[in-house]
Amino acid sequence: MLDAADGQLIVAKIEKKQRSRNPAPPFITSTLQQEAARKLGFTTKRTMMVAQQLYEGIDLGGETAGLISYMRTDSVNLSEEALGDLRALIAEKYGVENLPKEPRQFKTKSKNAQEAHEAIRPTSAYRLPEQVKQFLSVEQFKLYDLIWKRTVACQMIHATLNQVAIDLNCGSDQNVFRATGSTVTNPGFMAVYLEGVDDSKEAADDQDSLLPPMEEGRPVILNDVVAGQHFTEPPPRYSEASLVKALEEHGIGRPSTYATIISTLQNREYVTLDAKRFHPTDVGRIVNKFLTDHFTKYVDYSFTANLEDDLDAVARGEKDWVPLMNDFWQPFTQLITEKETSVQRKDVTQESIDEQCPECSSPLSIRLGRNGRFVGCTNYPTCSYTRNLGDDNAAASAEPEVVEGRVCPKCESSLVIKTGRYGKFVGCSAYPTCKHIEPLEKPQDTGVACPQCKDGAILRRKARSGKIFFSCSGYPKCDYALWDAPIKESCPDCHWPILTLKTTKRRGVEKVCPQKECKYATPYEGDENDVNG
């Protein structure tokens, strides 16, 4: 079919419907954080830090000037002076035809908005980003450029688009493709700035897909055919931009607290940021479940918004703050006291499962440890059976794999491969009578004698974290250990029996004396594969 089309499609029919698109309002704190995350990849904390620098003042070659207005605001209003400067600049730079008859006015969406400050804007529209670029850091320029363009665009005329549906023939009238999207008739404000979107229905809307100009009867080049099947998918995980948007929509916090909220979630390790998406940690899931189960009222979306309304009423003189605080504090402290006595730590960190321990037949539970959730025996510490949470129950309960040709050095029972919270290891089959264990990976002899006890050899080992280190085979009698690979060479300065191979980004591979008081180091000329064994 595609061969018959000879790599081209014919535009058979074009349906157009004209529509207008208005510019986005000037930035407030939340929208600045969202756009900086979408377009610049900035975190909310980074956005506010750079915005603070632009607000406080930049040295512009002998003159220090604040480049933007106050960055903690939820007002979309602009002063008369700012509007006058913006309209004059637009007329000069983009032409009078791109200037609406009257200045654009925007309404603040949030009912809790505190409009003490105007929207975030350049302090002077005539201070073009290109003119101040030489005085700014890369981050400062990117953010200032974003603010300047958004502010100028908000006072320009609307963009005129054609909503288009195009039928494309492929070889014959029976083979028809349809493309939908928009073509730009008059860009208006879009010539300066176009607002970004998050993962949402509007982000995938075909109406916002811009198509090139086409004419009926004319051929278009077929670049590729992508066959795809779409299924209903769950909502995407929050990015910083979409999380700020959700906080704003639910009335949680204030513009000045969004960055702090997100930083707290990360600092306390309730979430991790992976590929710019937030993923809850095991600790985060448990904290969320605990608060949802026991402090339901205080984590409800409406609680913060209603409290904000009450505090605004206090600010307006409509309510007395003392009864308001008593109404909050008395039941809150009473609930905390009740939970301290009725809820035990194990109720929060453990979750019962319908399974018995394969070693002592006690019940198993899902537990939270320093390295996350795992399955463990409730008879701990008498029984220390554990396994990874993701391990299959049947596989975990199956007979352990026997280590061929070896027996326990303590009791001569068989050695078996077991799985613990840190992964697989070798242990005695007579456990718990005999508690001998050893690493699954056998330590490798480096061929270097231990310089401390002079009896053992330095072995290459792997720590629980996966990091390689080197230590004496006589451990625990000899505790000599190194992070860097040893070599059979004595130090020419202090005559210590060995040197180590150390790699740094700045100096490359060097032979270094492991003695702290000795500073000997010289470039290593051998094979770099020798480093770390």
- Note if 70 is an active site residue: yes
CA pair distance 62, 469, nearest whole angstrom:
55
Listed ranges 148-162, 283-297, 371-385, 458-472; the one with the highest mean pLDDT: 148-162
Q: Are 448 and 486 in contact (CB under 8 A)?
A: yes
% of the chain surpassing 90 pLDDT: 29
Does residue 396 surpass a pLDDT of 50?
Answer: no
Q: What pLDDT does 102 receive?
A: 92
Q: Are 181 and 209 in contact (CB under 8 A)?
A: yes
Question: What fold is seen in the domain 240-345?
Answer: Topoisomerase I; domain 2 (1.10.460)
Q: What pLDDT does 1 receive?
A: 41
Q: Which residue has the higher pLDDT, 233 or 286?
A: 286
* Domain boundary assignment for the chain: 1-222, 240-345, 353-439, 444-530
Tracing tokens 């209003």 back to the chain, one arrives at: 77
| pLDDT tens track for 2-50 | 444 556 778 878 888 888 889 999 999 999 999 998 899 888 889 999 9
**Residue 33, helix vs strand vs coil:** helix
CA pair distance 342, 295, nearest whole angstrom:
13
Tell me the whole-structure pTM to 2 decimals.
0.59
Does residue 516 surpass a pLDDT of 90?
Answer: no
Q: Which CATH number fits domain 1-222: 3.40.50.620, 1.10.290.10, 1.20.1280.50, 3.30.750.24?
A: 1.10.290.10
% of the chain surpassing 70 pLDDT: 85
pLDDT band at residue 162 under the 50/70/90 scheme: confident
Say which of 70, 298, 380, 480 is annotated catalytic: 70
Q: What pLDDT does 404 receive?
A: 77
**What is the pLDDT of the chain when averaged over all its residues?**
82
| pLDDT tens track for 72-82 | 988 899 999 99
Q: What is the DSSP letter of 503?
A: E
Does residue 331 surpass a pLDDT of 80?
Answer: yes
pLDDT band at residue 127 under the 50/70/90 scheme: very high
| pLDDT tens track for 163-191 | 888 888 776 666 777 778 787 888 899 98
Q: Are 398 and 358 in contact (CB under 8 A)?
A: no
Q: Are 115 and 38 in contact (CB under 8 A)?
A: no
Domains 1-222 and 240-345 share a fold: no
Q: Which residue has the higher pLDDT, 249 or 196?
A: 249
CA 506 from centre of chain: 30
Q: What is the DSSP letter of 200?
A: S
pLDDT band at residue 531 under the 50/70/90 scheme: very low
Q: What is the DSSP letter of 296?
A: G
CA pair distance 159, 189, nearest whole angstrom:
6
Once rounded to an integer, what is the mean pLDDT over residues 442-470? 82
Element (H, E) at 324: helix 321-342
- Exposed / middle / buried, residue 97 (Cβ in 10 Å: 0-12, 13-18, 19+): exposed
CA-based nearest residue to 266, from 246, 286, 240, 299: 240
| pLDDT tens track for 334-370 | 999 998 888 887 777 777 788 888 888 888 888 877 6
Q: What pLDDT does 3 receive?
A: 45
Q: What pLDDT does 224 receive?
A: 54
Tracing tokens 């005559």 back to the chain, one arrives at: 495
CA pair distance 449, 488, nearest whole angstrom:
8
